[in-house]
Amino acid sequence: MLKQLCIAIILLSLLPIEGVLADWSVTKVISLNHIFSPSDNDGWRLESVVLEKAINDRSYYSIGILENSEERLGLVLGYSNIFYQRKKFTLHRSFYLSSNYKRLPAVMPVPMAGIRYHLTPKVDLVAQATPVPDPKDAYVIFMTGVNIDF
């Protein structure tokens, strides 16, 4: 189901859409991997689609669907802020709320730091990471993806 949703959103992004969706962008997260965690390593695969809406030129909020390796779907809500910007890349910090993990609370806050490398004015490569200091099984959540502006 998630793959069909991704294809539909990518096809929509190719159309000249005016009005409601014109100011949105799509972040297609290719991977959400738990690095250094043998018990939760999801592998490198397509796992989410996130819609982003700019608040201003340095902030945006996000809403999306996340699927983990156990095919559990969950909602993701987020806020991001750009704190350093150059012509080819931006550094940003994000705060997400996710409801996707079995062992954790129903709604889990996830702070992340990341980079967007601008391939074209409408397409970015995205990478974000956060350490998870679990005393039994510490790991790093690392997300990579592609951002496409409508």
Residues of the chain with pLDDT under 70: 1-47, 67-72, 100-107, 133-134, 137-138, 150
Using CA atoms, how far apart are residues 4 and 66, in angstroms rounded to an integer?
A: 14
pLDDT at 149: 75
pLDDT at residue number 17:
46
Burial 118-136 (b: 16+ CB within 10 A, else e): beeeeebebebebebeeee
User: Is residue 128 a contact partner of residue 113, using CB atoms and an 8 Å limit?
Assistant: yes
The per-residue pLDDT for 19 is 46
Supply the pLDDT for residue 56. Answer: 85
Instruction: Name the architecture of domain 2-14+23-149.
Output: Beta Barrel (2.40)
Q: What is the pLDDT of residue 26?
A: 65
Q: Domain boundaries in the chain?
A: 2-14+23-149
pLDDT single digits (tens) 92-126: 998 888 776 666 666 677 788 999 899 988 888 88
Helix or strand run (H / E) with residue 10: helix 2-14
pLDDT of residue 77: 84
Nearest Cα to 140, choosing from 132, 48, 88? 132
CA–CA distance, 137 with 6 (Å, rounded to integer): 32
Q: How far is CA 109 from CA 3, 28, 88, 140, in A?
A: 26, 20, 29, 15
pTM beyond cutoff 0.85: no
